[in-house]
Amino acid sequence: MWFFRCPEITFGEDALGQLALIRGKRAFIVTDPVIEGLGFVTAVQTQLCEAGLESQVFAEVEPDPSLQTVRRGAAQMLAYEPDWIIGLGGGSSMDAAKAMWIHYERPDIDPEAINPFEELGLRQKARLICIPTTAGTGSEAGYGIVLTDTENARKLTLGSPEATPDIAIVDPYFTAQLPRQVTADTGIDVLTHAIEAYIGSWANDFTDGLCLQAMRLVFKYLPRAVAYGHEDPEAREKMANAATMAGMVLGNSSVALAHALGHSAGALFHQVPHGRITAVFLPYTLQFVANGEAGRFGDMASALLLPSRDETEAADSVVTAVFQLLDQLGLPGSLKAAGIPEDQFAEMLPLMVEHVEVDANLLMSPRIPHTAEIEKLLQYAYNGRAVDF
Amino acid sequence: MGVPFATEAWIKALQEELNKSEGYREAAKTWEGDFYFVVTAGDGIPQDVYMYMDLWHGECREAIEVGDPSAKDPAFVMSAPVDVWRKVVEKKIDPIKGLMTRQLKLKGNMMKIMKAPKAAIELVECTTRIDTDWPA
């Protein structure tokens, strides 16, 4: 047995108007200062006013939100007592909103202890709406929460199925003006989610279709979204939908090895955004999986209209297509090309290996690497060397 | 002839497998914590069976069946009926999914468990190497 959970999703042009129909008293908006400066908070508050709700804003979420930020926001939430919480922004704001919500409802639980094995009993005080402003992490549709333990330079992969948002509002208005680089960095994350969830050990009939469709949308529309931005509203809308679809598969299947490697490296090399650094690892981890005769490359390659006479050709096709897409988007194909200095990489290598080994996503890979293989994967991804083991 | 499940012989067989497993030793090298693995009554098991394991830095220091559950105070208690344990051992369900679907129940420090996913997988791997006789 397994589950399939997702929020009620309102998507497409003018989806934000759905916010004017909610019932409640007070909404607590969790976001970051950039989003506030863009006027997006005002747009949300206008709809909340229409619905008769008061609102308060916490606009202090940083990229890779910390436990400290979560505790600070939760304290304000406890004082304000909202019945709706709105995570507005990229993955950082939405994940922070989920963690703050849990602490608001269960102050007895330390944010670091959030896990999917224990019942939390949420929704006694509030419900959660997520509104993504990138396309994207997919956090609006899943229950994962990625926080950073700044003291130990470690990413915490947390989550609880109860933290799946009640409502996701996926309005391309918010992504229309995304800068080119952000479009590329966040858009490629959609592909990594979709591919990993498709080949991962938790893949199932319900997530397979979403994964394949998200992959198709990324290959077709992400280059357009990067190249033409707001001048291509169709590409913007399709990428917003793809991101949410890939987000739906995150909790119902799972990401895997590329994310375990990306989390460990990303926690130490903050200068490389999550989507970009994880995407660097994607083709190398696919090579690793294919070399172990694991993975379902035939179906994937067929869905993407790539050569696929057998699994070997299919795997080669998919890996090549990923590298080509990275290149087309101006994204690096190695950690070295991502600008990580060699001496720093060498110094951090043992710590990265250690962090990968405690990342639960590692276990979702159809081929789980040993410690020595983890180190080799990191090195091969650094140097841009094809995986041969 | 195999080793009957939910017996001291079985838990000692698992101890032997763990202690000769390089994979488990490496994955659990920092682990400190003892367990009750409880097979709940039903399906050929007349009463709850408590199997105790003391796991320490990649080694199993003690493995016994305990008649009185108050005899030990382990850091973790994992319990399930025999059919669920069988699915775990036969890798038809992974332990994380088992916990998330509440088929496996776990008491203890969840944060600590979440930091040791590889050790959990290697432990399960060791169970698969035992020729287990399951209750009829």
CATH number of the CATH domain containing A120: 3.40.50.1970
Q: What is the pLDDT of residue B5?
A: 95
- Tokens in use for A14? 């003018």
Q: Per the domain annotation, does B131 fall within a domain?
A: no
CA distance A360 to chain B (A): 6
pTM, two decimals, is 0.93
User: Are the beta carbons of A4 and A252 closer than 8 angstroms?
Assistant: yes
**Are A162 and A193 contained in the same domain?**
no
How many domains would you assign to chain B? Answer: 1
Q: Which residue from B minimizes the CA distance to A202?
A: B97
Complex ipTM value: 0.85
**Are A159 and A213 contained in the same domain?**
no
Which residue, A174, A193, A219, sits at the end of a domain?
A: A174
Q: What is the pLDDT of residue A284?
A: 98
Q: Per the domain annotation, does A140 fall within a domain?
A: yes
Range of the domain at A330: 183-383
How many domains would you assign to chain A? Answer: 2
**Are A291 and A169 contained in the same domain?**
no
- Say yes or no: A118 contacts chain B, CB-CB below 8 A: yes
Residues 6+ apart with CB under 8 A from A212: A194, A198, A299, A300, A303
- Considering chain B, what is the average pLDDT of its residues? 93
Each residue's pLDDT expressed in tens, for chain A with a length of 389 residues: 899 999 999 999 999 999 999 999 999 999 999 999 999 999 999 999 999 999 999 999 998 899 999 999 999 999 999 999 999 999 999 999 999 999 999 999 888 888 888 889 999 999 999 999 999 899 999 999 989 888 877 778 889 999 999 999 999 999 999 999 999 999 999 999 999 999 999 999 999 999 999 999 999 999 999 999 999 999 999 999 999 999 999 989 999 999 999 999 998 998 999 999 999 999 999 999 999 998 899 999 999 999 999 999 999 999 999 999 999 999 999 999 999 999 999 999 999 999 998 888 998 999 999 899 999 999 999 999 999 99
- Interface A-B, measured as beta-carbon pairs within 8 A, has a size of 45
Nearest by CB: B117 against A113, A201, A363:
A363
Q: Which residue from A minimizes the CA distance to B23?
A: A370
Q: Per the domain annotation, does B135 fall within a domain?
A: no
Q: Which residue from A minimizes the CA distance to B117?
A: A360
Contacts of A3 in chain B (CB under 8 A): 101
Q: What is the pLDDT of residue B59?
A: 97
Q: What is the pLDDT of residue B110?
A: 82
Q: What is the Cα Rg of chain B in Å?
A: 14
Residues 6+ apart with CB under 8 A from A32: A59, A60, A61, A62, A63, A89, A90, A92, A93
CA distance B38 to chain A (A): 18
Kindly report the CATH number assigned to the domain that includes residue B91.
3.30.1050.10
SS3 B39: strand
The amino acid occupying position A70 is V
Q: Per the domain annotation, does A2 fall within a domain?
A: no
The string of pLDDT tens digits covering residues B84-128 is: 999 999 989 888 889 889 999 999 988 788 788 889 889 999 999
